Amino acid sequence: AQTVTQSQPEMSVQEAETVTLSCTYDTSESDYYLFWYKQPPSRQMILVIRQEAYKQQNATENRFSVNFQKAAKSFSLKISDSQLGDAAMYFCAYHSGGGADGLTFGKGTHLIIQP
Amino acid sequence: DSGVTQTPKHLITATGQRVTLRCSPRSGDLSVYWYQQSLDQGLQFLIHYYNGEERAKGNILERFSAQQFPDLHSELNLSSLELGDSALYFCASSVEGQAGRNEQFFGPGTRLTVL
């Protein structure tokens, strides 16, 4: 079974600074997808960014970018110019390319933004 | 607003009871996924339905069951409830049946408290 590990239970960053959240995963498959989800205090799950394993180029969405290291099975999220609204739980998730299963999530990282 | 609705928002019940959680997917989405988020287990995939048929099971207990109706809404039935079933239950919908290739849109969740 695939596993997703987020080793940082909590991270803190000053507003306007850059922070990187770590994620590693374990899989024997070659076709898969990786995601970062944000869960603010409202509890709504919001997709932040998505990476397809067969694409070498790292995904970017505005201030959010990933560092996808396929060989190392690492998928970190970088948030640039951190804003107060970025404060949330961030979950890394994995999905097998052809499977019907749902997403496999990590335990999450609680991101605190210091004003 | 993701377009996915879940009712009720909150549910308080007693051990041994049975409850039904309801999910309406986004218009046009054929897949519904159910997830459980608890302090102990984190976010776990429970079950996936596609166009009325069960497609995959995750860590779903035998006391739990689900179905998807012809109008594509889905219900998650939880019976013989235990204290440990207290959690936030999410449903998510997507256009097709592959969670990786198609973005999942999460509903706001149902908070279940078992006393």
pLDDT at B97: 64
- Which amino acid makes up residue B10? H
Contact (CB<8Å) B109/A43: yes
Per-residue pLDDT of chain A (115 residues; tens, 9 = 90+): 789 999 999 999 999 999 999 999 999 988 899 999 999 999 999 999 999 999 889 999 999 999 999 999 999 999 999 999 999 999 999 998 778 889 999 999 999 999 9
A50 touches chain B (CB under 8 A): yes
- The average confidence (pLDDT) of chain B is 94
A110 touches chain B (CB under 8 A): no
Closest chain B C-alpha to A82 CA, distance in angstroms: 23
Give me the residues paired with residue A64 across strands: A61, A79
Please report the beta strands in A1-115, taking only residues with DSSP state E, as ranges in sequence order. Answer: 3-5, 10-14, 19-21, 24-26, 32-39, 46-52, 60-61, 64-69, 74-79, 88-96, 104-105, 109-114
User: Mean pLDDT, to the nearest integer, of B3-7?
Assistant: 96
pLDDT at A107: 96
Nearest to B43 among A32, A44, A105 (CB): A105
As to burial, measured by CB atoms within 10 angstroms (0-12 exposed, 13-18 middle, 19+ buried), residue B36 is buried
- Which amino acid makes up residue B105? F
Helix (H), strand (E) at residue B114: strand B110-114
Gap between the Cα atoms of B78 and B64, Å rounded: 5
Distance from first CA to last CA of chain A, Å, rounded? Answer: 41
Query: In residues, how long is chain A?
Result: 115
pLDDT at B98: 65
Chain B residues with CB-CB distance to A under 8 A? 2, 33-35, 42-46, 48, 50, 55-56, 58, 88, 90, 92, 97-101, 103-104, 106, 108-109
Q: Which of B68, B66, B4 is nearest to B36 (CA)?
A: B66
